[in-house]
Structure 1
Amino acid sequence: MNVSRLEPDTSGIVDWPTLSTRKQSVVSVGVFDGMHRGHRAVIERLVELAHEQGDYAVVIMFDPSPKRVHSYAATHGGAELPDGEPSADPDELMAAGERIRLMRGLGVDWVLSVGYSLAFAAKSYRYFLGSLAGTIGMRTLVLGQDASMGSGRVGDIRAIQELAEATGVFRLEVVDDAGPGLTWTPTCHIPVPQGPGEPADPLEGMNKAERRAWTKAHACKHVRAWSSSNVRSLLDQGRIGAADAVLGRPHVVEGEVVHGEQRGRALGYPTANISPDYSGYMPAEGVYAGWLVDLGPAEEAERDAKAASGDQDQERVAVSSLEARLAPGSPWRWPADISIGSKETFAEDGRTYERVLEVNAIAGDDWLELYGHRVRVEFLAYLRPQEKFADGDALADQLQRDAADSLRLAQEAAARS
């Protein structure tokens, strides 16, 4: 797979590459954050059409996301998002490199990663699509049902279809994601229930009147169930099982292991403390079951990830190394219990702890030295809320139960896969 990074100039014009003088392209456009089942339905159809027609399967991916760029402009007097500022997008479900890795697995030939900007956004959808037809040889455009593009996002499916029919330059194919349709996502914060196990759908069991009142009280939006917006909402509620069902795989957070206070080690449950400079969307506070994957020393892991998401000479070796670590049953993968919270048991009067992500790898008698390594945390199930224990012994007893539950759930998930 080929990957090209394209930066629009100050007027928003992109210097699109010529992919071939002989082959045309089947193209899809979007952010593809999360690469959930709806995204995969679009890309799988893209690849299928490209193979049928003897064309390239091309994905144009925006990074940073349009939402991030426009939100920054709204709070900074209409300014462009500066390079690298802020360094991480707290709303991003998945880093761009991980999206590209998954696209490779689906058979995409080219990923054109476009640095989205206000100047680029000001171009009309007609100009944008005309540029794709004239440069990368777009024969077919494949989009999801809710896609829109161009200045003011007026280029919706109907407008694009009319343009395709009027010009005859390209054909539009709209993909039904085959998902369960629409769902309600609250824009107000919903506290995670203070009980064990996966939080339930708050709308479950409500009659029509109760549902209407609840959705109004929580300023709910109607969105597709298979959407990035819904995944974020589910993660905010601690509903990991439901989020993973939309994603079609476990939700992931990645980061470097840093030194903590070593309280877990003193209790017999050493944890990997993840740096605040992580990638991926952080779920609600609580304790989860999942997996910990060692991606190697941070510098090497970042180098391999960059190579695996680019067109450098070492791409094939880097991809092989990364996939080997991620594979089920790999020696770098362990069941784990995962804690997101503020260490309430050890909080002194008047002292608060910042929210942290800690992971206890269940590796038998092995002692894992992961400081300075980049790790991947995969979330499988919500176990329980955070709570304050009477002392370290009570906490150690609970950690033992968490480890046993996590091991069981990870083994069950492995047996199903």
Structure 2
Amino acid sequence: MNITYLTPDAEGEVAWPSFDNDKKAVATLGAFDGMHLGHQAVIRRVVELAHRHDAFSVVILFDPRPAFVHGWAARHEGAEPDSAAIDAEALTGIGERLRRMEELGVDHVLVVRYTLAFAAKSYIFFLGRLTGKLGMRTLVLGQDGAFGRNREGDVQHVANLAAATGVFELDIVDDRGPGEVRIPRDFKPEMPAEWGEPADPLAGATKAERRAWSKKHQAKAMRAWSSTNVRYLLAHGRIQDANAILGEPHAIEGVVVHGEERGRTIGFPTANLGTDIEGYIPVDGVYAGWLVDLGTASEQETDAEAGQPAQAGPGESTQSEAAQAQSGTEVVSDAVPEAGTQDQPRRWPAAISIGTKPTFSEKTGLHERVVESYCITDDWIDLYGHKVRVEFAGFLRPQVKFDGPDALVDELKRNVEETRRLTA
């Protein structure tokens, strides 16, 4: 898979690459945050049509998320987020999205840095560039797809333009999932009060009960397969429901740092993540899941030199800075961020604890979070300085205060046994 990083100029123009003039392109576009089943359906259709018509399959990937950029600008007098700002609402980092796209067989991914100037371009202007520069002959969108200035390029407007010009075709994919769900407006994370995986509050509800619940919580209808729904589920500890939409366990990534080491004193040493975490952190609580060792930074650099590229972040590439400077707004790379430094990275079942500090983080605009993972293994594990992936299988219990260390140890032993069951 070929990856091209593009940065719009001050006017929002992008130096789109040119592909083979004798071969056309089937394309889609979006942030694809979470790479859930709806996103996968769209991208699989792109790959399918590209194979059928001997064309390139192309994904135009917006980074950062448009919602993050517009939200930041609204809170900062029209300013855009800089590279240090962390999108704490993003379900997945850019590297994870790229890895999933490669697994689906995409030929080209164009990672476009999403800016306000770029967002101000009309959908007609944008489509003109895609057909003229990329040779796009088919655009694939989900049923609620929309892009361009003020999201004016919805499915109906794009379909009308395709019919009027005859230059490209629009292919619409059913990416909604099994029916609609109700999600409270402006919901906040809420830790479950009970032990065990939380149930859907509307499961088995009558129409009248659903209407009453929606009114009480100012809920809005939304398709089941959506990044917002996944975020809502994770914010309420409903890990298994979220994983069903994602198609695999939700995960976060970070570097292991030294913590207060209190767990070591009671026989439960944990791997603590630092503050720079990629991926959406679920609500506070204790979870069952896995810890995956992705290796040290030096190991990732060694792999990159050997032809196994280290992870590239937003706006970055595994190419040299000189190559980036020479290309101006465009960086081309065949390198896909690897999930680890080994063919089969070390992986353990783990009981995962998430809590919130009173410390405020300027990078995220939220209170700092603490993520600790106790690996269920008889071996001694030293992961300090390693990048790890924490995968979630289910919610075990809320964070509670115990009467003493003995009561805490007894509960941790129960958490370990439940983790063994859920990750078997």
TM-score scaled by length of structure 1: 0.90
Q: Does 1:335 align with 2:340?
A: no
Match of 1:347 in 2: none
Match of 1:197 in 2: 196
TM-superposed deviation, 1:171 = 0.5
Match of 1:33 in 2: 33
TM-superposed deviation, 1:19 = 1.8
Kindly report which structure 2 residues correspond to 1:247-396, keeping only aligned pairs within 5 A, or say none.
Answer: 247-301=246-300, 304-306=309-311, 319=338, 322=341, 324-325=343-344, 330=345, 332-342=346-356, 355-363=369-377, 365-396=378-409
RMSD between aligned residues:
2.3
User: Structure 1 residues 4-13 or 396-405, which shifts more?
Assistant: 396-405
- 1:111 is aligned, of 109, 112, 118, to 109
Aligned amino acid, residue 333 of structure 1: R
Taking the aligned partners of 1:396 and 1:321, their CA distance within structure 2 comes to: 33
Aligned amino acid, residue 46 of structure 1: V
Match of 1:414 in 2: none
* Partner SS state of residue 423, structure 2: helix
* Partner SS state of residue 83, structure 2: coil
TM-superposed deviation, 1:29 = 0.5
Does the CA-based 8 Å contact 2:176-2:226 persist in structure 1?
no
Give deviations 1:22-68, integer Å, cap 9, x for gaps: 21110000000000000000000100000011111000000011111
Taking the aligned partners of 1:92 and 1:408, their CA distance within structure 2 comes to: 30
Give deviations 1:112-154, integer Å, cap 9, x for gaps: 0000111111110000001000001101000100000111111
Give deviations 1:164-198, integer Å, cap 9, x for gaps: 01111110000012620211112333633321111
Taking the aligned partners of 2:342 and 2:104, their CA distance within structure 1 comes to: 14
TM-superposed deviation, 1:221 = 1.9
Does the CA-based 8 Å contact 2:98-2:336 persist in structure 1?
no
TM-superposed deviation, 1:76 = 1.9
Match of 2:55 in 1: 55
With over 3 angstroms needed to count, the CA separation of the structure-2 counterparts of 1:272 and 1:143, relative to structure 1, is same
Aligned amino acid, residue 230 of structure 1: N
Match of 1:242 in 2: 241
Taking the aligned partners of 1:189 and 1:69, their CA distance within structure 2 comes to: 20
TM-superposed deviation, 1:21 = 2.2
Taking the aligned partners of 2:87 and 2:337, their CA distance within structure 1 comes to: 25
Aligned amino acid, residue 306 of structure 1: Q
Unaligned stretches of 5+ in structure 1?
A: 345-352, 412-417
TM-score scaled by length of structure 2: 0.88
* Partner SS state of residue 263, structure 2: helix
With over 3 angstroms needed to count, the CA separation of the structure-2 counterparts of 1:131 and 1:354, relative to structure 1, is closer
- 1:162 is aligned, of 140, 148, 160, to 160
Give deviations 1:375-412, integer Å, cap 9, x for gaps: 0000001111111111112111111111111112111x
Give deviations 1:208-256, integer Å, cap 9, x for gaps: 2222121122121211100000000000010000000000000001001
Corresponding residue pairs, total: 395
With over 3 angstroms needed to count, the CA separation of the structure-2 counterparts of 1:117 and 1:233, relative to structure 1, is same
Taking the aligned partners of 1:192 and 1:359, their CA distance within structure 2 comes to: 18
Aligned amino acid, residue 64 of structure 2: P
Does the CA-based 8 Å contact 2:176-2:224 persist in structure 1?
no
Aligned amino acid, residue 222 of structure 1: A
Does the CA-based 8 Å contact 1:307-1:315 persist in structure 2?
no
Aligned amino acid, residue 251 of structure 2: V
Taking the aligned partners of 2:334 and 2:295, their CA distance within structure 1 comes to: 17
Does the CA-based 8 Å contact 1:289-1:382 persist in structure 2?
yes
- 1:99 is aligned, of 91, 97, 112, to 97
* Partner SS state of residue 343, structure 2: helix
Does the CA-based 8 Å contact 2:294-2:339 persist in structure 1?
no
With over 3 angstroms needed to count, the CA separation of the structure-2 counterparts of 1:284 and 1:8, relative to structure 1, is same
With over 3 angstroms needed to count, the CA separation of the structure-2 counterparts of 1:33 and 1:58, relative to structure 1, is same
Unaligned stretches of 5+ in structure 2?
A: 321-332, 359-366
TM-superposed deviation, 1:310 = 5.5
Aligned amino acid, residue 35 of structure 1: M
TM-superposed deviation, 1:343 = 9.2
Match of 2:3 in 1: 3
* Partner SS state of residue 211, structure 1: helix
Aligned amino acid, residue 269 of structure 1: F
TM-superposed deviation, 1:79 = 2.3
Does the CA-based 8 Å contact 1:2-1:310 persist in structure 2?
no
TM-superposed deviation, 1:306 = 2.6
With over 3 angstroms needed to count, the CA separation of the structure-2 counterparts of 1:321 and 1:270, relative to structure 1, is closer
Give deviations 1:254-273, integer Å, cap 9, x for gaps: 00101011111111111001
Give deviations 1:83-102, integer Å, cap 9, x for gaps: 3141x101100001110000
With over 3 angstroms needed to count, the CA separation of the structure-2 counterparts of 1:215 and 1:356, relative to structure 1, is same
Does the CA-based 8 Å contact 2:289-2:391 persist in structure 1?
yes
Sequence identity of aligned pairs in percent? 55
Taking the aligned partners of 2:312 and 2:80, their CA distance within structure 1 comes to: 28
Does the CA-based 8 Å contact 1:3-1:311 persist in structure 2?
no
Does the CA-based 8 Å contact 1:192-1:199 persist in structure 2?
no
Aligned amino acid, residue 247 of structure 1: L
Taking the aligned partners of 1:315 and 1:258, their CA distance within structure 2 comes to: 32
Does the CA-based 8 Å contact 2:299-2:341 persist in structure 1?
no
* Partner SS state of residue 195, structure 2: coil
Taking the aligned partners of 1:322 and 1:216, their CA distance within structure 2 comes to: 50
Match of 2:80 in 1: 80
